Structure formats: C-alpha cells, structure tokens
Structure 1
Amino acid sequence: MAQLAFDLPVRPALGREDFFVSPANELALAALDAGDWPQGKMLLIGPEGSGKSHLAHVWAGDRGARIIRAADLRDHDLPEPGPIVIEDADRIAGDPTGEVALFHLHNHMLAAGAPLLLTARSAPRDWGIALPDLASRMQATATAQLLAPDDALLAAVLVKLFADRQLAVAPTLIPWLVSRMDRSFGAARRIVAELDALSLARRTAVTRALAAEVLDMLAEQTP
C-alpha cells in the first residue's frame, strides 16, 4: 500500500548564511549592500524562483525592514518611517487600488528619507502600469538584476531546496541533476518537490533512478 503524501508547508532558510554568492548574483548583492540608492529606492529584478525573496529577506534582516507583499498594499495604512520591502511589485500592475497605494508609498518613503526595496520579475516598462505617475517613478528606479544561474549556483540551490525539505541525497546526485535539468530555479524547485512527494509516497530514498523518473515525467509535461 502506498503511503499517503501530505503537502506540508516547507519553511525555507532565508538568512544571509544560506545565500550562495556566485557571478549570477554578486552584483545584485553588492548593490543592495551598498545602500547608496538614488532617491533611496532599488528594484531587484529576476525570474521566478531566482532568489529575489531570499535576497530581500537578507536585506530586510540586516536593516530591520518590514516586508509587504504588493498584493496586500491596499490593506495597509502608510507604515511608520523605516525601511520597507515590497515583494512582487510587478503583480500590482493593472490593479487601480494597488497602483495608487504603491504611488502613495513612494511619496511617503521619499518624504521620510527611508529606503525602499522592491522585487519584480521584469523591468517596469513591461508591467503594463496604468497610472502615469507611478510608471514614471518606477522607470526612474535604480535596478539590480539577478542573472541566469551558472552550474555552481544551480547546485547550491538544489542543495538548499533538499535541505529545506530535510531530504538527504548523495552528493553525486547534485551535479548529475545540474547536467540534465532545465537551467532555471523554477525547474529546480519542481524537481525537488516531485522527488520529495514521490519518495514519500513510495517510502524510498531519493536515488538517481528516482530522479531520472522525475526528469522524464517533467519532460513529458512540458508543452
């Protein structure tokens, strides 16, 4: 009888000591650490699962910043002066209430002289912002970009994802996966999640054979 697999929440480690620095992210990390941002604001850009949230949490932890999801901006009064992180700012585009809230937050943070860090998947010109004043403010924001992952970073992300799920794997499995998987952080997350679910359902260890099965399954699902 197969074991029931429960989709329990995974609590990722988001400290600075858990952030692996590589050529793909070192410039973005340096830009955030420098802190001398034009108008006190910075936009961190990178694809889904590229480490934006992790790096934003590192910055927030260093500065005692409050972290707010862009989708929740409409539910917040203007915060007390202090550093703020707005996650997934691009998802607010097309929402009139959210766009106005982000516009007012810009003005509030500038007046308070407090730093504002925003994260997004792409540059503001691609968001489809309807509010002209917000569009101009976002397009004038300095940016730091997370680049496509290299082998070392993909390997480190896989190790972290397995550790977040408390999955023990053979060290040789990591380079084997890196050489065969799609080169994205999203693919790494899907692979580890599927391996976790399949190993739990079958009550077996995460092996190369199981990984090969997962890679074949994900390849079949790709349009």
Structure 2
Amino acid sequence: MSQIALPLVTATSAETIVSGPSLAPVIGALQAAQDWPFRTAILFGPPRSGKSLLARWFAQSGAGDALDDADSLADEAVFHRWNAAQASGRPLLLVSGRAPGAWPIALPDLKSRLGAALPIEIAAPDDELLRSLIEAHAARRGLALGEGALGWVLPRIERSHAAAEALVETIDRLSLERKASVTISLVKDALAERVHGHADSNWQPRLL
C-alpha cells in the first residue's frame, strides 16, 4: 500500500494520503505550485476522493494557501482571496466539489480569473489505488482482509473512492453483527448489500 505521510495535525496523530498511479499527476501539480498561472489552481474531484486532505497537506507543506469548499462560498470572498494571493505572491489552491465549468460564478471578474487557473482533477482510482484505499480503510477499522477477499472484490467493485470506503464500512458492520472474520462469503454479502440494499450470498456480480 503506497502512502504519502502528511505533517502532524495534532500532537498525537498524523494523516496519510493513499496514493497510486492515477493520483500521481495531482501530487505532481501540487508540488509545482510556483508554475501555476497567476499562482492559482482549482482542485476538484468526486466525493470522498481526498480533496480536503490534499488541500491540508498542500497548506501544511508551506507550498501555499488553500481554500476548501470554494465553490460554496460567496464570489466576493473567493475574489478577495484571489487578490490576496496575487498581492502576496503565495500560490492559492481552491478546492471544489464541481469542475470549474460547472461552478456557477456570477461575478465577471472572478469568472475570468478562475478561467485562467490551473484545473487539477482527481480521477477515478486505478486498480493499485483502489486496492490501497480498501486496505487503508480496513486497517483503520482493524479489519484483516486476506488476498482471497481482496482478489475477489477488486474486479467487481465500483471504481470510486466513495465505493471503497462504503464497502469496507459494510464489511466491518457485517463482521461485527455476525461475530465472524472477513471471508469471501462475507465480502460477497457486503458488496451485494451496497448494490442491492440487502445481503444475498447467492448474488453473483457482473465483472466490470
């Protein structure tokens, strides 16, 4: 499992970013903030894909400032931060749940400036990253997922960060409810429940 260590967030804990080939371009872009046009970039991607975590890593690394949930803020507030970034020369990372083109901006000056910002998209996880995400979520819950269970579920699970997290949550719950270890049968039921809303050990998902 490949991880990038983040700076300490509290005196007793640290956070990590689970990485893989599909995330490498994002990490590379964040590490090259001085090359961003007008020192501004917009980080966007699907739910639960680590946007806020990446933004905290970026800010704590000293590479620049980050503004989370920027697409939910008033245009004037974002424009103020953009102007401050230009005046200070510090890169500004704007985090959005929507792609730049889908982000409604009424203020013409802000729209033109953000149109020149570097878009950084978090893509769907590749196989390596998906495996690492499942392993990381399982480790946080103290779950032991064997190679058999991982090998069975990887070609069948939806390719998304949120799906990996939700599946492990369901596996954990079923394991506790049944007082059973994680087996392929239990993982099958967990995946069936995520897809159909109920466990069915006879369900056979279609390979993606």
Q: TM-score, normalised by structure 2?
A: 0.79
**Cα displacement (A) at 1:172:** 2.7
Q: Which runs of 5+ in 1 are unaligned?
A: 1-12, 66-82, 93-97
Q: Which residue of 1 aligns with 2:100?
A: 124
Aligned AA for 2:17? F
Q: Which residue of 2 aligns with 1:46?
A: 45
Whole-angstrom CA distance in 2 between matches of 1:190 and 1:158: 10
Aligned AA for 1:28? V
What CA deviation, in whole Å up to 9, does each residue of 1:101-120 have, x standing for no partner?
A: 11111112211222211222
Q: Which residue of 2 aligns with 1:35?
A: 33
Aligned AA for 2:93? L
Q: Which residue of 2 aligns with 1:15?
A: 5
Aligned AA for 2:110? L
- SS of 2:78's equivalent in the other structure is helix
Q: Which residue of 2 aligns with 1:191?
A: 167
Preserved CA contact (<8 Å) 2:4 2:18: no
Preserved CA contact (<8 Å) 1:155 1:175: no
Distance 1:118 1:149, change over 3 A: same
Distance 1:89 1:175, change over 3 A: farther
Preserved CA contact (<8 Å) 1:90 1:120: yes
For the pair 1:167 / 2:146, whether they are aligned, the reply is no
What CA deviation, in whole Å up to 9, does each residue of 1:14-67 have, x standing for no partner?
A: 73494344331111111111222222221122212223233223322321x7xx
Q: Could you tell me which of 164, 176, 179 is aligned with 1:200?
A: 176
Preserved CA contact (<8 Å) 1:85 1:116: yes
Preserved CA contact (<8 Å) 1:157 1:185: yes
Whole-angstrom CA distance in 2 between matches of 1:53 and 1:207: 33
Name the stretch that deviates more: 41-50 or 156-165: 41-50
* Percent of paired sites with the same residue: 37
**Cα displacement (A) at 1:167:** 1.9
Aligned AA for 1:15? A
Whole-angstrom CA distance in 1 between matches of 2:139 and 2:168: 10
Q: How does 1:136-151 map to 2 (within 5 A)?
A: 136-151=112-127
- SS of 2:21's equivalent in the other structure is coil
Greater RCO structure (CA 8 Å; 6+ sep):
1
Whole-angstrom CA distance in 2 between matches of 1:28 and 1:123: 15
Q: Which residue of 2 aligns with 1:24?
A: 22
Preserved CA contact (<8 Å) 2:4 2:17: yes
What CA deviation, in whole Å up to 9, does each residue of 1:129-170 have, x standing for no partner?
A: 222222222222112222222111110111111112222221
- SS of 2:61's equivalent in the other structure is helix
Q: Which residue of 1 aligns with 2:186?
A: 210
- SS of 1:110's equivalent in the other structure is helix
RMSD (Å), alpha carbons? 2.4
Whole-angstrom CA distance in 2 between matches of 1:167 and 1:190: 14
Q: Could you tell me which of 64, 79, 84 is aligned with 2:65?
A: 84
Runs (4+) off by over 4 Å: none
